[in-house]
């Protein structure tokens, strides 16, 4: 299994020279079964989704886009996805089940006057559905979906496995909603531990530094220290900091990673364009 990191930023894109090394596009990670196959599973559809079209080199996308939740930074790439706008494309868009028709729910923010078109106008190749909590087989991968706390709308974290390797994806996570936990950044609760248990890579919300957290935790995101602590507690082999705060520059991200150099779990910051081969 390989991961193609297409977008790493949280909340809103971050263009500009201070952000070119880690990248300014919002959340999107494509999953490849192996080196020679086109990606068929994509997590989230932030503005990074455009990078996947370039990766496909003019071929249509055939596969599933799995959304963790419906905030703008995770959906804004959908109508700007050329690989999903070709005649032969087949795109199954799945969102966390919350008691409403998926297409209608998406259309609340994806329709005039908010946006020129409705979801169904993306093309005949698109379909819309819900994913429930629990275990699923999607595009040949084993997918565990569990609800995790975040602010404003039902949010799932995912654990993806191909039977050999695995990774967890908790892009937006507010564990402090369950209380302060051992270090003040929220408890290592059961859903988070289950998703991250022994994974090769834990991709986790790292929007705030510890110093910022007290004044900004109301926004529904994690401290970097929580992401690293969850990796440690769950026995993850590596932590990839994700959903970088929009103003966080490349140099600041370098400094954050450097600060965890002695961590028992290796820590890196997710960078757009990276290809991660899982053992
Ligand atoms: Zn987000
Ligand atoms: Zn969010």
Q: Using one digit for the tens of pLDDT, what is the confidence trace for 27-58?
A: 999 999 987 889 999 999 999 999 999 999 98
Closest CA to 222 of 132, 155, 138: 155
Rounded to whole angstroms, the Cα distance separating 231 from 267 reads 9
Going by their DSSP bridges, the two strands 201-205 and 166-170 should be labelled as: parallel
Rounded to whole angstroms, the Cα distance separating 91 from 265 reads 36
Tokens of 63: 């596969």
At residue 34, the pLDDT reads 84
Q: How far is the CA of 7 from the centre of ligand 1 (A)?
A: 11
pTM: 0.97
Instruction: Give the pLDDT mean for 228-239.
Output: 98
pLDDT bucket at 112, cuts 50 / 70 / 90 = very high
Tokens of 276: 């991660």
The answer to whether 88 and 60 have CB atoms below 8 angstroms apart is yes
**196 Ramachandran zone, left/alpha/beta (phi>0; psi -120 to 50):** alpha
Q: How far is the CA of 155 from the centre of ligand 1 (A)?
A: 10
Instruction: Give the pLDDT mean for 215-233.
Output: 97
Q: Which ligand is nearest to the CA of 28?
A: 1
Tokens of 273: 């364009």
Instruction: List residues, by chain if needed, whose CB lies under 5 Å from ion ligand 1.
Output: 10, 73, 172
Tokens of 209: 């530094």
Q: How far is the CA of 181 from the centre of ligand 2 (A)?
A: 21
């Amino acid at each position: 299994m390989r991961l193609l990191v297409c977008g790493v930023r949280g909340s809103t894109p971050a263009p500009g020279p201070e952000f070119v090394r880690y990248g300014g596009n919002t959340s999107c990670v494509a999953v490849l079964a192996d080196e020679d196959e086109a990606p068929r599973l994509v997590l989230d559809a932030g503005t990074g989704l455009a990078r996947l079209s370039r990766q496909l080199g003019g071929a249509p996308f055939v596969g599933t886009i799995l959304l963790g939740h419906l905030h703008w930074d995770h959906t804004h790439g959908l109508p700007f996805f050329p690989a999903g706008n070709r005649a032969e494309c087949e795109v199954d868009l799945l969102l966390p089940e919350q008691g409403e028709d998926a297409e209608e729910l998406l259309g609340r923010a994806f329709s005039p006057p908010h946006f020129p078109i409705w979801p169904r106008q993306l093309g005949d190749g698109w379909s819309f559905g819900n994913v429930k909590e629990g275990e699923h087989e999607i595009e040949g991968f084993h997918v565990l979906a569990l609800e995790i706390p975040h602010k404003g709308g039902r949010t799932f974290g995912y654990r993806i496995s191909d039977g050999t390797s695995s990774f967890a994806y908790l892009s937006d996570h507010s564990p402090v909603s369950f209380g302060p936990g051992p270090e003040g950044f929220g408890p290592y609760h059961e859903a988070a531990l289950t998703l991250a248990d022994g994974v090769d890579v834990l991709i986790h919300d790292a929007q705030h530094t510890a110093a910022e957290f007290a004044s900004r935790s109301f926004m529904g995101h994690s401290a970097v220290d929580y992401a690293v602590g969850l990796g440690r507690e769950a026995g993850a082999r590596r932590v990839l900091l994700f959903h970088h705060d929009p103003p966080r520059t490349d140099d600041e991200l370098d400094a954050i990673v450097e600060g965890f150099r002695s961590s028992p779990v290796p820590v890196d910051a997710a960078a757009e364009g990276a290809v991660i081969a899982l053992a």
